[in-house]
Amino acid sequence: MTTIAVALISGGLDSLLAARIVQSQGFEVVGLHVRLPVYPHTARAFRGAAALGIPMAARTIRDDYFQLLRAPTHGFGRGANPCLDCRAYMLRMAKELMEEIGAAFVISGEVLGQRSFSQRRRDLLIVAHMAGLQDRVLRPLSAKRLPPTVMERQGLVDRSKLYDLAGRSRRPLRALARMYELRFVPEAAGGCVLTEKLFAPRVLDLVDHELSAGVWDLRLLTVGRHFRINQEAKLVLGRNAGENDALRRLFELSPRKEQVLCVVPHNFRGPEGLFVGIVSDDALMRGLALLRRYITKDLPDRLQFQVFRQHPPFRRLVTTTKELTALPEILAL
Ligand code: SF4
């Protein structure tokens, strides 16, 4: 019977190569893509898996992921990225799948030293341990620089056919991609927004103000302009038609329907928005004034805004003069 291994497939070249290397030793490889709103590369992951000819599962992080942002055991990198905790979280999801399908181990495409915050030797060992996988995580690209896993010690995996890569260069990865004749070689793409310093204030604001934040809130962080109106409420404004649509979808999916208001310009064209939190009349008017700031032409003398809430159902047409101006103390996130 063929031994099965679960490969974490992020959509990057490293993870595809790691899966391919193990596949070439005769294992049946099943891919797992962990969907994170802050790392939108699911399509690439599926394309890569299809090119390898491996079946793929995709699982979305759960609301408990937010705990990693609230109190990361191993801290943040340069942004609000809890990489060690996050890797351990993904490995735990891979472990769940491993146990469900009777796989023997998990494959990860991490390369030693590729990232200074989370891929030092000690980090790789820690995250496997945190996930409860101990030495059942095989990192084929750097395996020869790491202690042999139980699969290597028992001869299940041929260590001599694994690699000793280290560092940030993509050149050896491209060489391996040619050697293994990968049919899909993804270009280096934008990574996870949690690593961006400018994104961190949004995350920290959410941590500070929303006790029950979860996946929905993380999704919302990736859309539009964010403003803290007061301690109870924030406003998110779409920057284009695509973001307005995304905000409407998020409005419908909101897990706290009584605390999310959708605002749509009624008699003029402009950004749509979501208020999140406990929105007083004062906060509402301040948010509308802010929205007004992003419209520079074709304004009628009196502005009308539709304001909706899903539960309890609420719909209101708010009319203001066009001189509405945003109050200066509103904080842009
Ligand atoms: S870069 Fe983002 S997705 Fe990757 S491990 Fe760090 S927090 Fe997680």
For residue 77, report the distance from its CA to the centre of ligand 1, in Å.
9
What residues have CB less than 8 Å from 104, skipping those under 6 apart? Answer: 3, 4, 5, 98, 136, 151, 156
Is any atom of ligand 1 closer than 6 Å to the C-beta of 34?
no
- Amino acid of residue 68: L
What pLDDT score does 118 carry? 84
User: Given a cut of 80, is residue 326 above it in pLDDT?
Assistant: no
Distance 147 CA to ligand 1 centre (A): 24
Residue 333: its pLDDT value, please?
81
Query: What is the pLDDT averaged over residues 175-182?
Result: 97
pLDDT at position 31 over 70: yes
pLDDT band, very low/low/confident/very high, at 189 (cuts 50, 70, 90): confident
The predicted-structure confidence for 72-86, as pLDDT tens digits, reads as follows 999 999 999 999 999
Report yes or no: 233 and 280 within 8 Å, Cβ to Cβ: yes
Show the CA angle centred on residue 145, arms to residues 160 and 149, nearest 5°. Answer: 65
Q: Where are the domains of the chain?
A: 4-179, 223-332
Task: Average the pLDDT over each of 25-34, 104-113, 269-278, 316-325 and give the range with the smallest value.
Answer: 316-325
Is the CB of residue 90 below 6 angstroms from any atom belonging to ligand 1? Answer: no
Contact 19, 46 (CB under 8 A): no
- In words, the CATH class of domain 4-179 is alpha beta
For ligand 1, atom 2, name the residue with the nearest CA.
Answer: 192
Would the pTM of this model clear 0.85, i.e. be above it?
A: yes
- Average pLDDT of the residues of the chain: 94
Q: Using a 6 Å cutoff on CB, does residue 39 contact ligand 1?
A: yes
Q: Could you give the C-alpha distances from 323 to 52, 225, 292, in angstroms and in order?
A: 59, 22, 9
Instruction: Tell me the backbone φ, ψ of residue 86, rounded to 5 degrees.
Output: -65, -45
Q: Is 84 in the pocket of ligand 1 (CB under 6 A)?
A: no
Give 204 Cα–ligand 1 centroid separation in angstroms: 16
Q: What is the mean pLDDT of residues 244-250?
A: 98
CB 110 within 8 A of CB 140: no
Asked whether residue 68 carries a pLDDT value surpassing 90, the answer given is yes
Which residues touch 322 (CB under 8 Å, ≥6 apart)? 292, 299, 300, 301, 302, 303
pLDDT for 327 = 55
